[in-house]
Amino acid sequence: MSQYGFGTGTMWGTATQDAFGNTLAVPTPLKFGELQDLSMDFSRDLKVLYGQNAMPVSVAGGKQKYEFKSKFARMAGRVFNDLYFGQNMTTGTVMAAYNDNTGSNIPSAAGYQLIVAPPGSGTWKRDLGVIDANGQPMARVASAPATGQYSVSAGTYTFAAADAGKLVFISYGYDTSVSTGRVITLQNQEMGATPIFGVDVAMKFQGKSAVWRFPNCVSAKLSFEPKQDDYLQASFDFSAFTDATGVIGWLSFTE
């Protein structure tokens, strides 16, 4: 009886080497959450021999490529790092940004300072600018701000006496502790080594299944596509290559 496929199926990636060329002793399989699209393109070059006539007299196969394109919706730092970046990742902290849409009035008391308090007992890290009530950016200076200017140190914003009482909107970056948080540090490194991972794909429909496995893959592209009124999706492109025995993968069908 014929076998049919429906939907994108499920895909897992398992890193076996990091970006520094180190073999991972205990590989961790990672699921691509909310897989939206998956394409697998197997292609070969054809070399065509012609004589004096219009039609070819022989056709031979040349180089082959096994290329994959996927799109998934669940953001997972471990997936991005293990399968594309392969670099140093720390846990327990996240970087965040506070975009001020409420505003605060500059105090009239001497000093004319506003001290920001990052959410979740976070730690102020970087200034992301100050906007006045007219939507105009204020200029940051090292010290002694004049009207329309401000200075900042460790989350304390200082303004000019002439701006006392004015409404301002302060945005900033901060770090906060989150037990599940992950931060990937992207380093400039020598060309050559790149993360290597295996891919498993499973599709089930009407009691039958198709399973494909490619144990040696590398990724050429990871892209993010934020949209104004839709979910962010990540696109992940990769290619497979053979192992030491010349095997590139396996295709299994119930049929």
pLDDT tens-digit series, residues 30-59: 999 999 999 999 999 999 999 999 999 999
Q: Looking at the predicted structure, is the pLDDT value of residue 120 above 80?
A: yes
Domain locations in the chain? 10-38+67-87+186-253, 94-179
Distances (CA, A) of 126 to 93, 204, 205, 224: 16, 49, 51, 24
Average pLDDT over residues 209-215: 96
In angstroms, the CA 27 to CA 76 distance is 17
The length of the chain, given as a count of residues: 255
Q: What is the pTM of this model?
A: 0.86
The single-letter DSSP state of residue 83 is I
Q: What is the pLDDT of residue 2?
A: 81
Determine the 3-state secondary structure of 5 from DSSP: coil
pLDDT tens-digit series, residues 127-149: 999 999 999 999 999 999 999 99
Indicate the average pLDDT of the chain: 96
Q: How many CB atoms lie within 10 A of CB 245?
A: 5
Q: How many CB atoms lie within 10 A of CB 155?
A: 18
Q: What is the pLDDT of residue 123?
A: 96
The single-letter DSSP state of residue 80 is H
Candidates 86, 81, 70, 80; CA nearest to 18 is 86
Candidates 31, 34, 3; CA nearest to 204 is 3
Q: Looking at the predicted structure, is the pLDDT value of residue 82 above 70?
A: yes
Q: What is the pLDDT of residue 1?
A: 64
Q: Looking at the predicted structure, is the pLDDT value of residue 28 above 80?
A: yes
Average pLDDT over residues 198-217: 96
**What element of type H or E holds 195?**
none
Average pLDDT over residues 239-251: 96
Portion of the chain with pLDDT greater than 90, in percent: 96
Place of tokens 């290597």: 196
